Amino acid sequence: MLTHDQDAFRRADRPHRIVSGALHYFRVHPDLWEDRLRRLRALGANTVDTYVPWNFHETAPGKADFTGWRDLGRFLRTAQSLGLDAVVRPGPYICAEWDFGGLPARLLAVDGLQLRCSDPRFQAEVDGWFDLVVPELLPLLAGRGGPVVAVQIENEYGSYGNDSRYRAHIEQALTERGVDCLLFTADGPEDAMLQGGTVPGRLATATFGARPAERLKVLRRYQQTGPLAAMEFWIGWFDHWGEDHHVRAVEEAAASLDELLATGASVNLYMAHGGTNFGFWAGANHTGSRPGEAGYEPTVTSYDYDAPIGEAGELTPKFHAFREVIGKYVPLPDAPLPEPLPRIIPALAVPAGTVPLLAALDRLGGPPVLRAAPESMERLGQSHGLIHYRTTVTGPRPAMPVRIDGLGDRAYVFADGVPLGVLDRNAPDEGLDLAVAEDGVVLDVLVRAQGRVNYGPLLDDRKGIWRGVRHGHQHLFEWEIRPLPLTDLTGLTGPTGLTAPAYAPHDASEDPTRDARPSAAHGAGHGHQTTPSTLAIPATPATPAFHRFTHEPAHAPADGFVDVSDWGTGLVWLNGFLLGHYDTPRGPQRTLYAPGPLWRTGGNEIIVLELERPGTRLPLQDQPDLGRPTVVTLQ
């Protein structure tokens, strides 16, 4: 058991210092968990820290999956077998640059629901989550022979709110379900944050990246006795699309870590190994103060974080510098450092066909639903992917702008199938001029959703269209809407095409009709017949399309990187597994990490959904390109 007295932690009733590293199982292929945990132990850590994202595990309200990629128990038992304790942070909110901070998207479909407070409806949802996750944790608690020595109460709550009844409810919900290990809170070292986030009688810890003595002094005002701990000591930073790749100078970060450990405090390195935001799981930030304002900043696919252990397991210069510092304060393992994992031999993937997305709508989802006005993804039971809206605009009428009110996040607009232009949520006042002839026009709007906001006051970040569409001043009604979660691409190539991998992440709130056979109706009021299509039909340039490539390696499966620098913006699948988003013109990231366990010896299939600027080449590389680095200085 982990306890503490007036001065320090105690483990097995002996003085103990926590030297922990954050490593998220949900950002690492499960076949690589042991490798990454070995590297963490080699760094000198005696503890691993992980969040548990509610939306990653939930398959339906009241149901959760803890198998395969989601096998939390396997991850924690592997850590224990390597001599690591574990700190677990089960939310309900985790932030973590993860979609919606780990909350299920379906909560955004409930009118008036207030997030992260003592709204009885939200607390009932939290209780339902704890009913699912706590039984998974109980046999893993240290008091029962497991590795889990501490569990967090919520996460940096003081950065969001100040509801003391809510904080008490979270504490009680954990203890009533049997969590009897050390409970703690973690907040920024500012008065308002610590006032809003701490729980009386529970250990308070701090999150920061620099000036440790100053930060711990603030924490001590609220944690007057007991051990001091930096539960998140930020040793790098994450990236948004449109920025440079953030790095933190090795010497400066190591010196700051040394200064922190010299105070006698415990530490959790955030991140020791960042991993990858596979699938649609990358979150976002927002610099605005009100919904609908510009300032949306989606997070990139890589979560390398400039960590000591790189995205593909590299032992970086920061690893060696940190290991030297850590060795001054705790014993280092005697074992040799882990060897690098094998990498693929660079090659070009072979083109194998293309299909325009609009021609394949009936193969990608179920039949459209009819609504008077556009509705958000969440209203239609969809969490991630694309969503398609179609209506008819009567004519004749002169050119007037088409505008979208409440867009999440980027819309591709077509008039009778011809691209009209692109609208983005960060330019909410922009429109696309559309003149309509006497016969009228079919208006298609394809909306791409990126990450939901995971931090700050604008968490209720809906996707799709959640207000309406106007032509001039006239609201457009009578819409066909088709959710496109893109969880199954087998319809593009037939039953022998793409197959789901063993650990493919699911969408927690898929449209239940997505496997139903589609209607032949293709246009509201026009009745166009859909055109059968396969991955062999050429796509019109600048029209969203799926591009298929193949690759037959001449060696055993190994880590690689898909080079998207010749492409515009979209998504990439390897053997049916969604590697993530890319946005080359904005940068910084120009390659997507493809872990060795995803590759096949006898041949591989890569699907690129390009939305704006199709490329011609798809190189496979043995090194990442995360973009131009810029040094970040943490305060």
Catalytic residues: 156, 232
Q: What is the DSSP letter of 440?
A: -
With DSSP H G I counted as helix, E B as strand and the rest as coil, what are the percentages for the chain, rounded to 5?
Answer: 20, 30, 45
Instruction: In whole angstroms, give the CA distance from residue 166 to residue 89.
Output: 17
Pinpoint the alpha helices (H) of 86-142: 120-137
Tokens 């930060």, located at residue: 215
Q: Which two tokens stand for residue 465?
A: 């269209």
- Which has the closest alpha carbon to 6: 266, 198, 265, 227? 227
Instruction: In whole angstroms, give the CA distance from residue 58 to residue 426.
Output: 31
Q: Residue 602: is it exposed, middle or buried by C-beta count within 10 angstroms (0-12/13-18/19+)?
A: exposed
Q: What is the DSSP letter of 378?
A: G
Question: How is the beta sheet containing 397-408 ordered, strand by strand?
Answer: 432-436, 397-408, 464-471, 474-475
Instruction: In whole angstroms, give the CA distance from residue 150 to residue 71.
Output: 19
Phi, psi dihedral angles at 491 (to 5 degrees): -65, -20
170: helix, strand or coil: helix
Contact indicator for 244, 627 with CB cutoff of 8 Å:
yes
Contact indicator for 160, 116 with CB cutoff of 8 Å:
yes
DSSP 487-533: S--GGGT-TTS----TTPPPPTT--TTTTSPPPS--STTT-PPPPP-
State the Cα angle at 425 between 422 and 427, rounded to 5°: 75
Contact indicator for 178, 159 with CB cutoff of 8 Å:
no
Tell me the C-alpha to C-alpha distance, in Å, between residue 90 and each of 171, 264, 447. 12, 27, 32
Question: 554: how many CB neighbours lie within 10 A of its CB?
Answer: 7
State the Cα angle at 236 between 265 and 219, rounded to 5°: 30
Instruction: In whole angstroms, give the CA distance from residue 362 to residue 505.
Output: 23
Contact indicator for 574, 301 with CB cutoff of 8 Å:
no
State the Cα angle at 445 between 569 and 482, rounded to 5°: 100
Q: Residue 358 CA to chain centroid, in angstroms?
A: 27
Instruction: In whole angstroms, give the CA distance from residue 67 to residue 178.
Output: 22
